[in-house]
Amino acid sequence: MKSPINTDWTRQLKLFLAGTALSLSALGVGTGQVWAVSNKQIIQQSIQTLQKSDRRWIQINLSKQRLIAWEGGKQVYAVLISSGKKSTPTRVGTFKIQSKYKSTRMQGEDYNVPNVPYAMFYQGNYGIHGAYWHKRFGTPVSHGCVNMAPNHAKWLYEWASLGTPVVIQK
């Protein structure tokens, strides 16, 4: 009779060291072996896997304030963005487009913006969208979202579909 106890397991652990979040994944296969993988390594592995595929995916580099649309390992579009400022940073990690709105209202504690164009949300209220209220692309100014000029947001909105991977790195 097979044991109902499975000795294979996977766990996610988030550690906060000196104000920096470190995500660790540990995998055990009944051998007592454990591996730790940083968030940066997970992101790099995701990029390598996506570049070897033929899938459409979006890469956002926060330090360069750049968004690149990819089809496998081929860049098909690149544009300047504005990510979250220091007090409201854009989250780093791997995500997928969960919802799309041609136009939506975005509200927060200190903002209420109607008719935000071409919004694609990848985690809760975090998304990629057009921003008609500023032209400071290349500079972090948002409340955590990824802002683009409306014409660029329209292109990306029409190109990407629900489930499109989004990889955000520093």
Structure tokens at 7: 């000795």
Separation CA 148–CA 161 (nearest Å): 18
Separation CA 17–CA 38 (nearest Å): 13
**Distance separating the N- and C-terminal Cα atoms of the chain:** 50
* Strand pairing class (20-29; 56-61): unpaired
Helix (H, G, I), strand (E, B) or coil at 41: helix
Of 134, 143, 145, 152, which is the active-site residue?
Answer: 145
134 is catalytic: no
DSSP 8-state class, residue 97:
-
129 is catalytic: yes
Would you name the residues annotated as active-site residues?
129, 145
